Amino acid sequence: MKVIVIGAGPAGLTAAYQLSKNLGKKIHSIKLFEANDRVGGMSASLKLWNQIVDLGPHRFFSNDKKVNQFWLEIAGNEYDMVNRLTRIYYNGKFFYYPLKAWNALTNLGLGEASRCLLSYLHSKIDLYPTKEKNFEAWVTKRFGKRLYEIFFKTYTEKLWGIPCEELDADFAAQRIKKLSLSEAIFNALNITNKNKHKTLVDQFAYPFYGTGSIYEKMKSKYEQNGGQIFLKTPVKNVIVEDYQVKGVQLQNEQIHSADIVISSMPLSIMVEQLPQLPEDIRLKVKKLKYRNTILVYLNVPSQNIFPDQWIYIHDPQLQTGRITNFRNWLPTLCGEEKSSILTMEYWSYEQDTLWTLSENELIALAKKELFQTGLVPSNIVINEGKVIKLKNSYPVYFRNYKAILEPIQSFLSRIPNLYAIGRYGTYKYNNQDHSILMGLLTVENIIEGKQHNLWKINTDYDNYQEKSIITKTGLRIED
């Protein structure tokens, strides 16, 4: 089989590398096309001011033995464990996340804490619908109105650019899942919880030279196996005839034939270019929308700013949603440099004024908001800044988006040798582990003839053979 993979992010590169192990056997050739000049997608790393930074905070964590084994295969022993410290900035104060009882009570005050508790109790007796249709109702039902307003509403609306009542409950079910107020309280009181919620883990594995080094290593292994990669080579469209993939056409009009195409390009762009596309599917595809990310990097001349890896900004007066301090990940990122690189994260749609601001304007905004938080004294002079804009970073889970997405999935199922994977490719808010798993299972479908439903990953796909975690000494199997 001749295989073409579109996109060298976590999903696409994982699939390409796994397939390259079968070159000369079931696979005749593999071509990997990437529009950018680097691999890793949103999990790429880059050199900046003699230091290494990621595109925002990208920790890796999984309970899946298959995913963890694969990550360790690539990482080798070039990683360490990072003790996580993250906080929430709200109302001029910093709350530990996961919550710590005394810190939360002190910052909220007895009156506000009592109000939160009463609000929670009210949510348990209030007549909410059995099936919560939107994010606000889902969270309020589980935490109460007041905790929703403090710890969920502002950040979520910054990220998505729509009111929480217009955001589908599916987002909450995916990202918050089984987390409950009781679990948050147990955690705050340091009561051991064996089944601790995935987002609350206190430690995670991180490569010495940034998240992107995993994908650089994977690229090298892929090429050593005989796979071809073409950077700065965007794909225009997938060529399909009579519901069979024939290859791809590049933006420069070159055509490359293939028996199988694995696509991690944005689902809406890929599907809209397909031939024989029914009009109702075309109209649905146009309703899919993505949120863009703006990253403003500031080189702050200090090594001791704040101890967190990242901070969530819940203040509605600030446009930034998250601040990352790469000084606090691993010392290998900073080398001999004495400064700290902070990343101010913003989100927008293309039509928003924020997206159209110049680099100088965005750097000025980031400096102003950083000083407003009090994290950096206003007398510190920040001379260096850089802006990176990422299009289509987050698939938007608008209300009832599944009614739009499922018919598109059904249509694609009619093209058996076309696989859509990854955050962009499946219109799913994947973490790295979800995308890696998609790549692994796609290859099992192709090479072993398995029938994994890739659309189920990161929704209700919990069919792990064994659970495990990565430690400093390698893989540990969990009961």
Give the per-residue pLDDT at 184: 55
CB hemisphere CA count around 114 (13 angstroms): 3
Residues 179 and 234 in one domain: no
- Residue 35 located in a structural domain: yes
Is 403 a residue whose pLDDT tops 90? yes
Tokens matching residue 272: 């809209």
Residues 186 and 264 in one domain: no
pLDDT at 8: 97
Q: Could you give the CA distance from residue 74 to residue 470 in angstroms, rounded to a whole number?
A: 13
Determine the pLDDT at residue 200: 47
Residue 374 domain flag: no
pLDDT the model gives residue 103: 83
Whether residue 417 is predicted with pLDDT greater than 80 in this model: the reply is yes
Q: What is the rounded average pLDDT of the residues 119-140?
A: 77
Secondary structure (H, E, C), 108-141? HHHHHHHHHHHHHHHHHHCCCCCCCCEHHHHHHH
Instruction: Summarize the confidence of residues 400-417 as an average pLDDT.
Output: 95
| Whether 271 and 133 share a structural domain | no
Q: Is the pLDDT of residue 151 over 90?
A: no
Q: What pLDDT is recorded for position 365? A: 98
How far is 412 from 406, CA to CA, in rounded Å? Answer: 10
**Whether residue 4 has pLDDT greater than 60:** yes
- Minimal CA–CA distance to 106: which of 91, 97, 95? 95
What pLDDT is recorded for position 187? 54
Answer yes or no: do 245 and 112 share one domain. no
Same domain, 150 and 225: no
Confirm whether 262 is domain-assigned.
Answer: yes
CA distances from 46 to 41, 201, 388, 459 (A): 12, 26, 11, 31
Is residue 61 very low, low, confident or very high in pLDDT (cuts 50, 70, 90)?
A: confident
| CA-atom Rg of the chain in angstroms | 23
Task: Answer whether residue 466 shows pLDDT above 80.
Answer: no
Looking at 195, 222, 237, which one is the last position of a domain?
Answer: 195
In the predicted model, what is the mean pLDDT of residues 424-445?
A: 94
pLDDT of residue 475: 82
pLDDT at residue 392 is higher than 50? yes
Q: What pLDDT score does 479 carry? A: 56
> Roughly what angle, to the nearest 10 degrees, separates helices 279-287 and 401-412?
130
Answer whether residue 217 shows pLDDT above 90: yes
Enter the tokens of residue 79: 């990683």
Bridge partners, 151 (sequence order): none
- Checking if the pLDDT of 180 tops 70, the result is no
**d(Cα 73, Cα 78) in Å, to the nearest integer?**
11
Residue 254 and residue 135 share a domain: no
Q: Under 8 Å CB-to-CB from 310, ≥6 apart: which residues?
A: 57, 86, 322, 323, 324, 325
| pLDDT score recorded for residue 213 | 97
Whether 474 is covered by a domain: the verdict is no
**pLDDT at residue 478, rounded to an integer:** 66
- Confirm if 36 and 460 have CB atoms less than 8 A apart: no
Q: How confident is the model at residue 188 (pLDDT cuts 50, 70, 90)?
A: low
pLDDT of residue 105: 84
DSSP state of 329: S
| pLDDT for 131 | 63
Is residue 376 situated within a structural domain? no
Query: Residue 155 corresponds to which tokens in the numbers above?
Result: 């950040």
**Nearest to 61, CA basis, from 71, 73, 53, 52:** 71
Please say which residue of 136, 165, 195 terminates a domain.
195
- Provide the pLDDT for residue 435: 95
Q: Do 416 and 276 have their domain in common?
A: yes
* Cis geometry, peptide bond prior to residue 266 (ω within 30 degrees of 0): no
pLDDT bin (cut points 50, 70, 90) of residue 197 is: very low
Residues facing residue 32 across a β-bridge: 5, 229
**pLDDT band at 96; cut points 50, 70, 90:** confident
- Please indicate, yes or no, whether residues 276 and 410 belong to a single structural domain of this protein: yes
- Predicted confidence (pLDDT) per residue in 153-175, tens digit: 999 999 999 999 999 988 887 76
Confidence of residue 198 (pLDDT cuts 50, 70, 90): very low
pLDDT of residue 177: 58
Question: Is residue 180 located within the same domain as residue 215?
Answer: no
How confident is the model over 231-249, as pLDDT tens digits?
Answer: 999 999 999 999 999 999 9
Question: Whole-number mean pLDDT of the chain?
Answer: 90
Kindly state the average pLDDT of the residues 294-314. 95
Contact by Cβ (8 Å): 414, 241? no
What 3-state class would DSSP assign to 144? coil
Q: Structurally, how many domains does the chain consist of?
A: 2
The answer on 221 and 142 residing in a single domain is: no
Say if residue 130's pLDDT is above 80: no
Angle at 310 between CA 388 and CA 471, to 5 degrees: 110
Does residue 353 form part of some domain?
A: no
Any domain includes 55: no
pLDDT of residue 463: 46
Are 159 and 221 in a shared domain? Answer: no
Domain assignment of residue 162, yes or no: yes
pLDDT score recorded for residue 384: 95
Of 474 and 189, more confident:
474
pLDDT digits (tens, 9 = 90+) for 317-376: 999 999 999 999 999 999 999 999 999 999 999 999 999 999 999 999 999 999 999 999
Q: What is the mean pLDDT of residues 195-220?
A: 83
pLDDT tier, 100 (very low <50, low <70, confident <90, very high otherwise): confident
Residue 31 pLDDT = 98
Kindly state whether residues 113 and 262 are assigned to the same domain: no
Give the CATH number, domain containing residue 455. 3.50.50.60
**Global model pTM greater than 0.75:** yes
- What are 44-56's pLDDT values in tens digits? 999 999 999 999 8
Going by their DSSP bridges, the two strands 203-207 and 340-348 should be labelled as: unpaired
Give the residue numbers spanning the domain of 404. Answer: 2-40+211-288+398-463
